[in-house]
Structures are given as C-alpha cells and as structure tokens.
C-alpha cells in the first residue's frame, strides 16, 4: 500500500527501528480501512448467509461517488463528499439487493447460485465504473496534509481522520448491535432467521437495513482507501477484496468482532512484513496467516455459535 504518511524515529534508534515504526503506522491505517470494510461484509454475510463477491466493486463505486461529489459535480469538501458518497452507495446496495440478489436468493436456495450472481454483478459494476470514469487514475481534490508526531510515528492529518473514522465506525456498530433493538434483531436474524420471524421480527426490513449499512460501509471504506492510497482506480476494490476475505475468515466468518480483530491482525502483519520483504508479497502474507489460522482454529479466531 502506497501511503501518504511517513514515519520517523526520534532518538536515532537505527534504520531498522525507523522502518518498523513506519510500517506500524502504515499497518494501523490499512487496518482501519480493512476494519470498516470487513465489518460491512460480515454484517451482510450474517444476515444473508452468502458472500458478496461484488463487495469490492461496492467499495470502488462508493469511492467514485465521493470522488464525483468532491471533484466533478458539487466540489464538496472531501470528508463531506465521503459521507454523502457512502450513504449513496448504501442506497444503491439496497436497490441491487432488492432487484438483483434477493430474487435469485429467493428462487435458488443453494448459496452457490447466488455467489455466481454476485460474481456477475461484480463484473457489471466494474465495467460500469470503466465506462463512466475510464481506466485512468483519479485523484481526490484535497488540501495538502500536515504531519503529526505520535511518539516515533508520524501520521498525516488525513490518516488520523481515517483512523478516527474507523474507531467511530467500530463503536457505532458495537452500539448498534449490543444496545439497540434494531441491532438485536439483526443478531437474532443472523442466529436463526425462522425463529426471529416467529418472534415478530420483520426479516425483510432488517435485510434491507443491513444492506444499507453494509453498502454504506463499503462506500466509506472505498473512499478512505482512495484517500489513503492517494488515488482511485476501478479495480482498487477488487484487489482489496481478497485481503478483506482474509480478515473476515481469520476473525471468524460472520463474527463482527472477529472481523475487527482480523482486520487489525492482517493490516499490521501485511504492512510490517512489507518493510522487510518485497511488498509485492503482502497478499501472500495475508493468505499465509489465513491458512495457519484455519489449520490451528478452523472456525476462525473469534467464532462462536450465533455469530456477532
């Protein structure tokens, strides 16, 4: 991951330590982006019980919505554009579920068929992005970042904001799931849909709300990924999708807190390893962690019956 941030070491502890702290800073930023996206994917999986392979394209599309509001249409501040763009992606996710995915899920009870549909949807959305914004790299319109010292680590303003957004998002998701009636209904549905229904929960409405939240989180993570990367391409989300899968599976499929922990682990491990070996192997590192986790604890680090 090419980041705008850089790190420095105070006290001259040597180049090795400099590199280490630099990569820890990168790792925390990557983990922040991963956590937002992994939680969004996990929420949706918990409710629908199938993996959405178009999630990476939801991220990219959300980022392009933010880009359009920031740089093409209204010239909004980057953070305002990010919020509106993300909510726009949430609304689109609801429509895509209602008109594309849900009819297939109703008709074909085998998850495999719906997976194929999400693959198809992914291709359609990717080509839509190419047809509208082309293959050229795009850049957000944002002011120059200032650098801030945090002990041995230096982070830019935008990176700090991204990390703050991730923390606030995680707290909001935690509050939603643990405190609110809506969140409890989501967890109940994730646990046992038919029992949730006989308990009076309107599962269709919960599914719609979940798609909205999941789509919004995809849009948000795509936007902050574009901001931390410094650029935007249609394929960015798809490339990131495999790291998200690794985070979700390492944490325990369907477990929201597992997804958060998985994101932190994968984010830090991939960036710290990139400081010492060829960064081209970052994805491989994520999958090594995934394989080792599955060998040692097949259900993931934080999986328990009932998820979330």
Partner 1 sequence: MTSVGPTGTTGTAPREAALRCEGITKAFQGVHAVNGAGFAVPRGLVTALIGPNGAGKTTLVNILSGSMTCDRGQELIGSTDVTNWPSHRIARMGLMRTFQLSRELGGLTVLENLLVAARDQAGEALWNIFLRPGLVRRQERDNIERALDLLETYGLYRLRDSRASDLSGGQKKLLEISRAVMASPSILLLDEPMAGVNPALIERIGGYILDLKRNGVTVLMIEHNLNVVEKICDHVIVLAEGRTLAEGRLSDLRQNEQVVRAYLGEVIDAGTVR
Question: Looking at beta carbons only, is 198 or 278 nearer to partner 1?
Answer: 198
If one asks whether residue 207 binds partner 1 (CB under 8 A), the answer comes out as: no
Phi and psi at residue 8, to the nearest 5°: -140, 160
If one asks whether residue 49 binds partner 1 (CB under 8 A), the answer comes out as: no
If one asks whether residue 51 binds partner 1 (CB under 8 A), the answer comes out as: no
If one asks whether residue 42 binds partner 1 (CB under 8 A), the answer comes out as: no
Decide the pairing of beta strands 147-150 and 153-156.
antiparallel
Least Å distance between CB 177 and partner 1? 10
User: Binding string, 118-157, against partner 1, x = CB under 8 A?
Assistant: ----------------------------------------
Question: Looking at beta carbons only, is 157 or 203 nearer to partner 1?
Answer: 203
Q: How many chain residues bind partner 1 (CB under 8 A)?
A: 30
Tokens 């599955």 correspond to 294
If one asks whether residue 299 binds partner 1 (CB under 8 A), the answer comes out as: no
Question: Looking at beta carbons only, is 176 or 283 nearer to partner 1?
Answer: 176
If one asks whether residue 54 binds partner 1 (CB under 8 A), the answer comes out as: no
Q: Which of 205, 239, 292, 297 binds partner 1 (CB under 8 A)?
A: 205
Least Å distance between CB 119 and partner 1? 29
Pick the closest to residue 140 from 82, 57, 97, 186 (CA basis).
82
Question: Looking at beta carbons only, is 131 or 194 nearer to partner 1?
Answer: 194
Least Å distance between CB 243 and partner 1? 26
User: Binding string, 164-203, against partner 1, x = CB under 8 A?
Assistant: ------------x--xxxx-xx-xx-xxx-xxxxxxxxxx
Site residues (vs partner 1, CB under 8 A) = 176, 179-182, 184-185, 187-188, 190-192, 194-203, 205, 209, 212, 304-308
């Amino acid at each position: 991951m090419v980041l705008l941030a850089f790190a420095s070491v105070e006290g001259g502890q040597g180049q090795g330590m400099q590199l280490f702290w630099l990569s820890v800073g990168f790792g925390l930023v990557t983990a922040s982006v991963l956590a937002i996206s992994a939680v969004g994917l996990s929420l949706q999986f918990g409710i629908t019980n199938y993996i959405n392979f178009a999630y990476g394209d939801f991220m990219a599309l959300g980022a392009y919505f933010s880009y359009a509001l920031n740089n093409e249409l209204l010239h909004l501040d980057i953070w305002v554009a990010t919020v509106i763009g993300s909510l726009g992606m949430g609304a689109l996710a609801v429509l895509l579920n209602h008109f594309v995915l849900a009819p297939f899920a109703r008709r074909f009870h085998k998850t495999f068929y719906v997976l194929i549909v999400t693959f198809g949807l992914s291709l359609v959305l990717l080509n839509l992005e190419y047809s509208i914004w082309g293959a050229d790299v795009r850049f957000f319109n944002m002011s120059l970042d200032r650098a801030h010292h945090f002990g041995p680590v230096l982070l830019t303003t935008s990176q700090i904001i991204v990390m703050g957004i991730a923390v606030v998002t995680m707290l909001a998701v935690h509050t939603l799931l643990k405190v609110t009636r809506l969140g409890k209904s989501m967890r109940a549905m994730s646990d046992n849909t038919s029992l949730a229904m006989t308990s009076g929960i309107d599962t269709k409405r919960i599914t719609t709300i979940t798609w909205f939240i999941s789509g919004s989180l995809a849009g948000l993570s795509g936007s902050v990924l574009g901001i931390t990367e410094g650029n935007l391409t249609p394929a960015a989300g798809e490339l990131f999708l495999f790291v998200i899968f690794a985070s979700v599976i390492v944490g325990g499929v369907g477990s929201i807190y597992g997804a958060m922990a998985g994101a932190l682990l994968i984010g830090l491990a991939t960036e710290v390893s990139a400081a010492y070996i060829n960064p081209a192997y970052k994805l491989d590192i994520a999958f090594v962690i995934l394989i080792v986790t599955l060998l040692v604890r097949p259900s993931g680090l934080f999986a328990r019956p009932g998820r979330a």
